[in-house]
Structure 1
């Protein structure tokens, strides 16, 4: 079994690219970030073609936990320590604005519920206090929390989404604007002036590769600072015996869960317990991690409902905790390495890549550059 809980029964498959097409820009990858790049290119009046090896949202964009969280992968107090207060504050504010934008555009798919960071032990409770203090000092909403789920902090401006439905809604909107999008069209090579797929060729001036997981496989020059991990999840049928009104991340974010509108539970985690084996391009669930998820589901969450889905996805991590947003070759841009925060950070990074690829400025790119410089000095 390797099927996510997220469904989109109304999806009509896109055509495969066959033959030549021409555009100013080719976007490789039709997940959340690739589609965000195509939206930005359209707003700039730039012709573009988007290609995807599988189906829209078949990667991590449609197989993640559905969390909508402000900030980067590092908790805010850690971001302040690594990147400086001014840059960390501006990055956090940008992600909060992106959450608001997505909620306003798709209120039926993205919901503001708040989120909980819960501590697994006394040491993490102390870390939660530092996290809370840093957020409040910089003027962001956060509250101490103690409830039946545990102790930690409440972040009221976070939320949840149905990730597969979100990316496919964006794809439908682009198609209504006559955007050229193709599924089932794996890229075989990128050469100056063109992108070659199994059955077609895109003649273009610029390429944006937005694939997150396995990014270092596409661009070996990004290794070893970019590395792909397998994130595993499961989901249950309705579980009225428990009530989680907000998404929760626990044990420094290694475990995370939410209760779905049908009362089912979507739970992920234990990547670190798999050791080196979870640093892989494979997306097949494993007995070890799924067993740990089963035990946590029954013993910690007290869920009795049957497991209905098990799945995994590829997500890329970077050594500095910052996403990749750079020109890796002449007129070829890469975006990815979101460290598990692609729903928000991916959209911001891809729109910035689209702007940079067209010779425009991008505030998000400037903030990441400042953060990377600060991190290198710290």
Structure 2
């Protein structure tokens, strides 16, 4: 069993690339980030071809927890401390704005419900207070929370998403505009001026590699700067005995769950209980992590509904917590390493890469550059 709960509709496959194609830009990866890059390029009348080794949303874009969260993977107080207030403010503002944009664009798929950060112990409760103070100081909405889930924070601008529906809806919208998108077209070689697959070649001026998990395999020069990990999840049948109106982050985000509109539960977590095993490109669930998740489901969440789905996904992590966005070779751009929060960060990063590939500026890219420079200077002072 390795099918996410999100995969509940038929999908008419895209064609496979055969023969030569000519484009200004070739985008590799048709998840949320790759499709965002394609959309941005199309909006600027740039000729683009998009490729995926499997199918639209087959990777983490269609297999994640369905959270849309403002900010980076680290909590806001940590982001301020590590990367500086100016960059942290900008990154948070841009991600919150993207959540609002997506909810307006696809209200049936992206819902602003707020999210909860629930403390697992006294130390984390103290950190929640720091998190709250940092958000309020910078003018962002947040409230202390105490309720059935526990104590912590309410973040009212966050929400949830049906991730696979979203990427398929974007792909369908592009397909209706006759944008050239190809599935089952694994890239075998990226060289200046062309991208080679098993059955075809895209001749192009620039390339955007929008891949999160296994990014270091596609672009070996990123090995050591991004590392692939496995995230595992399970889901249940409708659970009327449970009531979680908002998605929940628990124990520093190592556990996370939401209750879907049909009242089923989607739950992930416990990667830190087997880090040696979970740093892997293997994307199949394991008995060890699934057993921990099931125990938490039954004992902590008190959910009795039967488990209907178990699945895993490959995602990219970076040592400093900042996503990858850079020109790794001349006219070859990479985006990835979203540290488990790619639904929003990935879209903004890929859109930025598309703009940079066209010789334009990007507020997102500028904020990431400021964050890296702040961290570099702080490190040098130690």
State TM-score, norm by structure 2. 0.98
Q: How does 1:225-244 map to 2 (within 5 A)?
A: 225-244=225-244
When the two chains are superposed, the root-mean-square deviation of aligned CA atoms in Å is 0.7
- Residue 91 of structure 1 aligns to a residue whose secondary structure is helix
Tell me the residue number matched to 2:92.
92
CA distance in 2, matches of 1:137, 1:251: 24
Tell me the residue number matched to 1:263.
263
* TM-aligned CA deviation for residue 377 of structure 1: 2.4
For residues 203-240 of structure 1, give each alpha carbon's deviation from its aligned partner in whole angstroms, at most 9, with x where no partner exists.
Answer: 11110000111111111211212111000000000100
CA distance in 2, matches of 1:202, 1:220: 21
CA distance in 2, matches of 1:66, 1:257: 9
For residues 230-278 of structure 1, give each alpha carbon's deviation from its aligned partner in whole angstroms, at most 9, with x where no partner exists.
Answer: 0000000010011000000000000000001111100000111012110
Tell me the residue number matched to 2:14.
14
Q: How does 1:42-121 map to 2 (within 5 A)?
A: 42-121=42-121
Q: How does 1:227-376 map to 2 (within 5 A)?
A: 227-376=227-376
Tell me the residue number matched to 1:216.
216
- Residue 117 of structure 2 aligns to a residue whose secondary structure is strand
* TM-aligned CA deviation for residue 43 of structure 1: 1.1
Structure 1: 5+ residue runs without aligned partners? Answer: none
For residues 153-178 of structure 1, give each alpha carbon's deviation from its aligned partner in whole angstroms, at most 9, with x where no partner exists.
Answer: 00011000100000000001111111
**Is the contact between residue 238 and residue 262 of structure 1 (CA under 8 Å) also seen in structure 2?**
yes
Matched, 1:124 2:124: yes
For residues 258-306 of structure 1, give each alpha carbon's deviation from its aligned partner in whole angstroms, at most 9, with x where no partner exists.
Answer: 0011111000001110121100000010111000001000000000000
**Is the contact between residue 34 and residue 350 of structure 1 (CA under 8 Å) also seen in structure 2?**
yes
* TM-aligned CA deviation for residue 30 of structure 1: 0.1
CA distance in 1, matches of 2:87, 2:26: 31
* TM-aligned CA deviation for residue 8 of structure 1: 4.8
**Is the contact between residue 8 and residue 164 of structure 1 (CA under 8 Å) also seen in structure 2?**
no
CA distance in 1, matches of 2:108, 2:238: 20
CA distance in 2, matches of 1:224, 1:12: 38
CA distance in 2, matches of 1:216, 1:22: 26
CA distance in 1, matches of 2:157, 2:269: 23
Structure 2: 5+ residue runs without aligned partners? Answer: none
- Residue 157 of structure 1 aligns to a residue whose secondary structure is coil
CA distance in 2, matches of 1:335, 1:86: 22
Quickly say closer, same or farther: Cα 1:365–1:164, change in 2 above 3 A.
Answer: same
Runs of 4 or more consecutive aligned structure 1 residues displaced over 2 Å after TM superposition:
none
Tell me the residue number matched to 2:192.
192
